[in-house]
Amino acid sequence: MALGYVLAVLATLASGSGSILESMGVRRVAAHGGSSLDLIALWRQWLYFLGLGVNLLGFAFASAALHRLPLFLVQSMLAFSVGVTAMISTFMGARLRAPGWGGLVVGATGLVLLGVSAEPGPAQALPSHWRWILVASVIPVAAIGVYARRHNHVWATVALAFGSGVAYSVVGISARTLHVPDAVWQLVLEPAAWSIVLNGLTAAVLFALALQKGGPTDVTAIMFTTNTALSSFVGLVYLDDHIRDGYVTAATIGFVLAIAGAIAVAHYSANTRQKEPTPEPAGVRV
């Protein structure tokens, strides 16, 4: 059981730091003259791919943790990685106001309550047709990305972040229910494995598009809140995730505090983060 908690903590740290690196890579594309809507330009940014690699490492940690701990705990910890993002940002020059630090304390308190409330154990297996439905869910989520990419209003950012959260929640559900066969090659026959790959790629693309339109903490907050709420609901209702006897109230309070803390940190760090200077157009002299 202790290993599950360690893996969840490592996943949280990797997710928060990976988001910062991805954001730096995306913003460098615009700063160096690339179109803010041109994902092809990201191929020139090693920081983005470093961040993506760190996030993939975090996903590996989270997947291992999900085989031991319920979705509502692991996903809540991943949601609170926005606190890791905010703290790293402060070391890079951004300022986090006092209410933001308060949000960190509130969120951490919520995670402690969730940690003592969770009942470790494997998930209930999903029927085969439901596992294929998880694979097919990538289609409507990708449609959200296609629509939002063509619009620049504020709701486009929200839609992209929301779609990314939905896709990541499907990844979490698939990882929680994934049956690892004795022969590794047989994973290609497992719908949950395909769901993880397809929804994971879709989530990463939508997250990158959202970062191009909005700040990293805003986007991260929407994405992780959606991810946590949806996957926790599915885990408790359909996957036989359990709360310890007598700890339902503590788990409920902990869940609310964890999400509220993450949102508070995202809000106050977004309002006070240090803006990168806009490059002067070529040929313009003052």
pLDDT digits (tens, 9 = 90+) for 242-266: 899 999 999 999 999 988 888 788 7
Is the pLDDT higher at 152 or at 129? 129
> Does residue 285 surpass a pLDDT of 70?
no
**What pLDDT does residue 129 have?**
81
| Secondary structure (3-state) at 243 | strand
| pLDDT tens, position by position, 19-31 | 888 777 777 666 5
Task: Tell me the average pLDDT of the chain.
Answer: 81
Output the CA angle 100-105-106, nearest 5 degrees: 90
- 85 vs 62: CA distance, rounded Å: 17
Q: How far is CA 181 from the centre of its chain?
A: 27
**What pLDDT does residue 112 have?**
92
Is the pLDDT higher at 27 or at 204? 204
> Are 225 and 166 a contacting pair, CB within 8 Å?
no
- 186 vs 13: CA distance, rounded Å: 31
- Tally the C-alpha atoms within 13 A of residue 30's C-alpha that lie toward its C-beta: 15
**What pLDDT does residue 41 have?**
60
pTM of this structure: 0.77
Would you report the helix, strand and coil content of the chain in percent, each value rounded to 5? 75, 0, 20
- 92 vs 52: CA distance, rounded Å: 19
Task: State the pLDDT confidence band at 198, using cuts at 50, 70 and 90.
Answer: very high
Task: State the pLDDT confidence band at 114, using cuts at 50, 70 and 90.
Answer: very high
Is the pLDDT higher at 206 or at 155? 206
> Are 220 and 19 a contacting pair, CB within 8 Å?
yes
Amino acid present at 247: Y
Q: How far is CA 175 from the centre of its chain?
A: 14
Is the pLDDT higher at 6 or at 89? 6
Section 231-237 average pLDDT:
90
| pLDDT tens, position by position, 58-70 | 988 998 899 889 9
**What pLDDT does residue 283 have?**
44
Amino acid present at 266: A
- 170 vs 66: CA distance, rounded Å: 13
> Does residue 278 surpass a pLDDT of 50?
no
Q: How far is CA 271 from CA 39, 101, 176, 264, in A?
A: 26, 13, 35, 11
**What pLDDT does residue 210 have?**
86
Q: Kindly state the tokens that stand for 102.
A: 């308060």
| pLDDT tens, position by position, 170-185 | 999 998 988 777 777 7
**What pLDDT does residue 170 have?**
94
Q: Kindly state the tokens that stand for 120.
A: 């470790």
| pLDDT tens, position by position, 71-102 | 999 988 888 887 888 888 887 777 777 888 89
